[in-house]
Every structure is written in structure tokens, then in C-alpha cells.
């Protein structure tokens, strides 16, 4: 039997509501599996430290990690729901929450979380990513704080000030680009995962995406944004020619090996950059502002529970990530920012100048779009349509027309 997306999201039974209870009543003996989509060595090291520390404090609960490739995560979760073989606990990014809840993949934890001792430590925005229909489905584990890296030494050579706006960013990219040295101003992510920055650019040019559940893209502003972003390759040639296919690994390698002067990512890649470059070679900055303002994301990645039969033991695991020591340990291995402001005030963060850009970004950063269908629209419409512009197969206006049409279809 084949199920289409509408049947999967709308036809499956909702997970039953579970009565909350304080942390002291959580089960102390169980075996749990944990689905995640970590990919880097630093992420795995961080996970290993958290799991080892958890085992010491919770010897009766055995956690087994299962790595699910990020591009396959939603399809595998969908298949697991259909086959009634969901994981016990799972990692969830905010933009996937609505779809996962709609298909019955997550347990409503509202009562339990509101009675949890650390609930009040978090700002309302932190819970927004794991809240669907007024119900909370997980606890923030850490935060992806968007920022950019730049080559301080290259900028010093050219007498360039760190860019604060997109216009200054483009000017800096032009000045440091030198094809004869295989040097380019920017690592543009046009491959897997690159949809994120297209959406960010549209918002940075002043256009919303969805308002009150309806498509709200301003075609003129969105077209200007897509054109500006694509022209970094097609007109200005300040990015490597491989940009249409470059994903995370390619943009990071280009920056680390001295091919590019700037790259956009988030705090999670800091340890990787630190391992490759000397402190005097690079710096961190908040994302530059577009004509419509800054568009930098605070993406609270949370851990949820998929198996209602093990919810008591699972609460021990997902709440443990919010404790100060595992949060700082994970930060030290990965650079991923703690979700709790109380933990983020730790002097190990406040005294590190590299984190100043992240701390500043927490004052203006925005949550990513979270409407039902955003994951599919982003990956199957936004990215391929933008790639067509990068390779000269269509105009920015044509790409935006297709994005708007695809968004309307996704919201039906």
C-alpha cells in the first residue's frame, strides 16, 4: 500500500497525550535508541562525551545512537511511522517539527516539560521551535547561531573593514578575489542545504515567506534578492565555479584551505575552523544586513520522544542535554551554542572573543520558517530553482515565480 504525503501527514493517528510528572519520577531503567543526523567528526565526539556522562549519572538507562543521513531523515521517519517502528528518541530541527507532529511521529510532552525544573530558564522563542498547535514536543538541546567566518589576514592585506551590510560584503568579496591565485571572496553553498541561504536572502531583502498560513512572498523584493545572491557567481565571479554543487563539506574545505575569504555557517563549525587555521588568520562576524534588515537564524535543535511506551526513561535522556556540564562539553567539541541563556552566561563562553558575534546575534536572530511543508518546499523547489539561476538556465524572476507557485502548493 502506498501513501501519499497528504495521507501520511493527515491520516495517521495522533500520539496520545501523556500526563506530566516531575523529573524525580522519570523511569531509571530502560534501553533507548536515539536517531540523529550528525555528520562531522566533532559532532560525533560531542555526542560521545554527552552519552558517556549520561551513562555515569544514569547507569540503568542504556542509550544507543543511530545516525540517519540528514537528506534521508524525513523519509526514514515517515517509513518508520508507517511501519510502526519509530525510534524511542530523536533529534528534530524546528523546520521539520510541524511535519513530524502531523504524521504522528512525536509525543506531546507539554505537561512534563512545564513541570520540569529548567523550563523557566528558556525564553519563549526557544520553545517556539518545538511547539506545534500550542503543544510542546521536545527540549532544546543546543542552538545553531548563524554567523560568518572571514580571513582576517586577507582583509588586513587589502585594508578592508569587516562587512556589516550585504553591499559591504559584496565589495569585500570583489577586493579579495584573485583568480590567478585561486582565491575567491566567498564560499557559496549552492548544493545540498543551500536552500537555507536563498530563503535568508529573500527575508534580508524585506520579503516575508508565509504570513498567517498563506504565501506572502513579495515578488519584486524576492527577485532582487535571488538575483543579487546568484550574481556573486554569474556576474561578479567572486565564488568558485563549483558553487552550484557545493554543500557543507566543499564550502568549509574551500575556506580552510585558503581558496575563499568568507563563508556563512553557524557556531557548530567553529572547532573545525580552529583546527585548520591559526587564531590570527580568521575571525567571526554577525551575518551582514540586507536592505530589509538582518536575516540570521537561531535554530534551536531539540530532542523529542517518538515512543510513548518509553517516555519516562526518554525524558531523562532528552532533559540531560540541558544540564550545564553536557551543554558546555558539547560546545567545546562542536562550537554548538547552549540553548539555555543561563548556561550561555558561563564564563567559558563570555570570555571567548570568538563568541562575541554569536552573543550579538542572539539579540536579533530569528527562528526559521516552521509551517507544514517547509522542508519539502525548501529542498525540492527553492534549491533546484536557485541552482538553475546559478547555471544560467533561467532568470531570477523565473526562479521566484516557481518558488511562489511551489509554496502555494505546499500550503494547500
56 in any annotated domain: yes
Mean pLDDT of 353-359: 88
- % of the chain exceeding 90 in pLDDT: 72
Supply the pLDDT for residue 26. 56
Residues 284 and 219 in one domain: yes
- The pLDDT tens digits for 68-83 are 998 899 999 999 999 9
134 in any annotated domain: yes
Domain of residue 402, residue span: 145-297+369-410
364 in any annotated domain: no
Task: Record the pTM.
Answer: 0.75
Residues 157 and 276 in one domain: yes
- % of the chain exceeding 70 in pLDDT: 93
Q: How many whole angstroms from its chain centre is CA 281? A: 26
User: How many distinct structural domains can be found in the chain?
Assistant: 2
Residues 29 and 155 in one domain: no
Residues 208 and 272 in one domain: yes
pLDDT band at 3 (very low <50, low <70, confident <90, very high): very low
Residue from 15, 12, 11, 23 nearest 322 by CA: 23
Mean pLDDT of 292-303: 91
Cα gap 400→405, rounded to integer Å: 8
200 in any annotated domain: yes
Cα gap 201→410, rounded to integer Å: 20
CATH code, domain carrying 317: 3.40.190.10
Q: How many whole angstroms from its chain centre is CA 382? A: 16
Residues 212 and 115 in one domain: no
Query: Which of 355, 377, 394 is where one domain is finished?
Result: 355
- The pLDDT tens digits for 141-172 are 998 899 999 999 999 999 999 999 999 999 99
Angle 9-11-16 from CA coordinates, rounded to 5°: 90
151 in any annotated domain: yes
Residues 92 and 170 in one domain: no
- The answer to whether residue 341 scores a pLDDT higher than 90 is no
Mean pLDDT of 193-197: 96
| Chain position carrying cell 527577485 | 223
362 in any annotated domain: no
Residues 232 and 176 in one domain: yes
Supply the pLDDT for residue 243. 98
Residues 18 and 70 in one domain: yes
Ranked by mean pLDDT, the top range of 3-12, 264-273, 276-285 is 276-285
Give 136's strand partners. Answer: 131
Amino acid at each position: 500500500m502506498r501513501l501519499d504525503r497528504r495521507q501520511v501527514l493527515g491520516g495517521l493517528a495522533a500520539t496520545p497525550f501523556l500526563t506530566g510528572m516531575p523529573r524525580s519520577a522519570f523511569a531509571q531503567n530502560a534501553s533507548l535508541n536515539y536517531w540523529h543526523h550528525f555528520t562531522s567528526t566533532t559532532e560525533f565526539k560531542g555526542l560521545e562525551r554527552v552519552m558517556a556522562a549520561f551513562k555515569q549519572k544514569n547507569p540503568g538507562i542504556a542509550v544507543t545512537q543511530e545516525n540517519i543521513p540528514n537528506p534521508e531523515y524525513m523519509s526514514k521517519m515517515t517509513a518508520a511511522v508507517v511501519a510502526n517502528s519509530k525510534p524511542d528518541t530523536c533529534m528534530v530541527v524546528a523546520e521539520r517539527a510541524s511535519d513530524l507532529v502531523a504524521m504522528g511521529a512525536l509525543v506531546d510532552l507539554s505537561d512534563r516539560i512545564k513541570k520540569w525544573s529548567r523550563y523557566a530558564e528558556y525564553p519563549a522563542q526557544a520553545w517556539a521551535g518545538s511547539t506545534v498547535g500550542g503543544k510542546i514536543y521536545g527540549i532544546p538541546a543546543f542552538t545553531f547561531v548563524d554567523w560568518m567566518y572571514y580571513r582576517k589576514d586577507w582583509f588586513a592585506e587589502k585594508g578592508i573593514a569587516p562587512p556589516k551590510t550585504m553591499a559591504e560584503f559584496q565589495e569585500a568579496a570583489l577586493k579579495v578575489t584573485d583568480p590567478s591565485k585561486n582565491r575567491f571572496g566567498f564560499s557559496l553553498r549552492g548544493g545540498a542545504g543551500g536552500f537555507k541561504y536563498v530563503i535568508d536572502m529573500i527575508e534580508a531583502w524585506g520579503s516575508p515567506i508565509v504570513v498567517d498560513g498563506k504565501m506572502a512572498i513579495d515578488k519584486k523584493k524576492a527577485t532582487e534578492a535571488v538575483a543579487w545572491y546568484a550574481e556573486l557567481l554569474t556576474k561578479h565571479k567572486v565564488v568558485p565555479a563549483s558553487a552550484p554543487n557545493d554543500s557543507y563539506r566543499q564550502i568549509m574545505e574551500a575556506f580552510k584551505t585558503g581558496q575563499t575569504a568568507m563563508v556563512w555557517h553557524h557556531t557548530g563549525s567553529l572547532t573545525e575552523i580552529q583546527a585548520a587555521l591559526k587564531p590570527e588568520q580568521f575571525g567571526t562576524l554577525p551575518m551582514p544586513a540586507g536592505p530589509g534588515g538582518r536575516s540570521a537564524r537561531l535554530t534551536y535543535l531539540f530532542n523529542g520522544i517518538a515512543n510513548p511506551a518509553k517516555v519516562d526513561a526518554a525524558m531523562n535522556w532528552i532533559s540531560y542535554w540541558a544540564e550545564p556540564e553536557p551543554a558546555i562539553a558539547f560546545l567545546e567539541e562542536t562550537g554548538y551554542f547552549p540553548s539555555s541563556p543561563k548556561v550561555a552566561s558561563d564564563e567559558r563562553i563570555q570570555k571567548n572573543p570568538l563568541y562575541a558575534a554569536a552573543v550579538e546575534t542572539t539579540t536579533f536572530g530569528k527562528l526559521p520558517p516552521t509551517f507544514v511543508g517547509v522542508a519539502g518546499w525548501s529542498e525540492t523547489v527553492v534549491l533546484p530553482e536557485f541552482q538553475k539561476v546559478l547555471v544560467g538556465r533561467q532568470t531570477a524572476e523565473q526562479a521566484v515565480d516557481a518558488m511562489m507557485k511551489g509554496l502555494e502548493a505546499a500550503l494547500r
